[in-house]
Structure 1
């Protein structure tokens, strides 16, 4: 980890939705960041604009992929990058999903909207080590069909033929949508998992995280085996600005991935 941005070049970009782009980055020189693990994030600096925390959405040999939604000046600048452009990266920061802690258990991944981005490396890691875990599940919710990330990859996974149970639902269907409509928690009824022997990983809008975690606990999962990411609360990435503070925790330092046993109490404090 370094406090000075390391230059990375844009290898390729891929539009995912109307406002979201995946950016593949590789070191621009001999310097490179330490290896990332699923769930951890980098501070991504758009030269002349600023920097934001972004989790990795894929980890390759010598490359990192960040999936960015254009919602502000920095993210808009990142989404406008083209191959050959450069950014600065600092990291890796934060806690990860810690998939090895789920060894021998069923793996249940529940994503809402762009929350699928930090969860995708976890899914790929679980699929790459099928003997280390039980049954893998991926449940995805989005507002509309046009907001579904990695649509082709999800379609291939949902088509079957592999160990992964994958299902996608949307809140507001288009006229041509032939898939499921409803809340992502409704997909739990079709998932392949044993609540007593499952670790769940959840990321998405805060309301979705709350509803999903509470439903999983109601179904029998221990709160500490429901891992959630509260990365949407982060800003500076270094636990200095205080924007990410929930109760006594600073998510840039103590998160963003934490157990629901802790997150439940922190989010309750904010509600009061």
Structure 2
């Protein structure tokens, strides 16, 4: 294998980024808006991720939650699960982090043109899918219908409720939601059950539909099975696996 050593070394060196805004999404998730300090663009594709580092603490892979079609900043959905993400949750606007990437193939945009898009998001998996949903909305004439199935553990963990309502109101978009459980004192109009219970409500044309799936890996086999039952070709089902990345380039 031939390796471009100059490129490889640059990918290991973080760029400096400034935190512009931090928004709490739920008890465990925050949305961080960042801008590269040198004024350059991240130049990511929907579905890619970055390695975010805090000096003296460590580094973690984080999915990019915003579309490259938006302004010069970029957004990251961060779930607090360890030392690095706990420290990221404590950052204040003006603080600096290191960013390497973007990494991953991203979603195959050329293969998605003129296709209906079925997004299946479990929990924080909505963040990387949000980047593609925003992209499809911004470039609406390039894509067909949009379908979103979104499941989380309970209503309090629902992410981007305002945006879900905006997407739901679009005439070319169907949004279906489920929660695994719902407290008796919480009003919830969606389905109670795992995300696969939403599939019977879908009315898609399998010959023109591509599925993009991001969530806990345990859900993938069941979601894939439901997609196949709907008639979607296996080559038109795409998954995200960046949680297994450490180096960001697949060498690990």
User: What TM-score do the two structures reach when normalised by structure 1?
Assistant: 0.83
Q: Does 1:183 align with 2:194?
A: yes
- Equivalent position of 1:119 in the other structure: 129
- Equivalent position of 1:90 in the other structure: 100
- Equivalent position of 1:146 in the other structure: 156
Quick check: 2:117–2:147 contact (8 Å CA) kept in 1?
yes
Structure 2's unaligned 5+ residue stretches are 1-9
Match of 2:43 among 35, 42, 52: 35
1:142-184 alpha-carbon deviations (Å, 9 max, x no partner): 00111111122113323x2432111111001122232221121
Deviates more, 1:174-183 or 1:49-58: 174-183
> Runs (4+) of structure 1 moved beyond 6 Å?
none
Q: Does 1:136 align with 2:146?
A: yes
Q: CA–CA distance in 2 between the matches of 1:16 and 1:66?
A: 11
Q: CA–CA distance in 2 between the matches of 1:137 and 1:80?
A: 35
Quick check: 2:155–2:188 contact (8 Å CA) kept in 1?
no
Number of aligned pairs?
239
Quick check: 2:199–2:226 contact (8 Å CA) kept in 1?
no
Alpha-carbon shift at residue 231 of structure 1 (Å): 2.0
Q: Does 1:203 align with 2:211?
A: no
Q: CA–CA distance in 1 between the matches of 2:37 and 2:139?
A: 31
Change (3 A) 1:123 1:161: closer
1:178-224 alpha-carbon deviations (Å, 9 max, x no partner): 22211212222222421121100001011211110111112211111
1:105-158 alpha-carbon deviations (Å, 9 max, x no partner): 211000000111110011111112222222111110000111111122113323
Match of 2:56 among 48, 56, 71: 48
Quick check: 1:57–1:121 contact (8 Å CA) kept in 2?
yes
Quick check: 1:165–1:192 contact (8 Å CA) kept in 2?
no
Quick check: 1:106–1:134 contact (8 Å CA) kept in 2?
yes
Q: CA–CA distance in 2 between the matches of 1:29 and 1:235?
A: 25
State how 1:230-241 maps to structure 2 within 5 Å.
Answer: 230-240=241-251
Alpha-carbon shift at residue 227 of structure 1 (Å): 0.5
SS of the aligned residue for 1:119 comes to helix
- Equivalent position of 1:162 in the other structure: 171
Alpha-carbon shift at residue 43 of structure 1 (Å): 0.8
Quick check: 2:12–2:100 contact (8 Å CA) kept in 1?
yes
Match of 1:171 among 169, 173, 180: 180
Quick check: 1:13–1:83 contact (8 Å CA) kept in 2?
yes
Q: CA-atom RMSD, angstroms?
A: 1.6
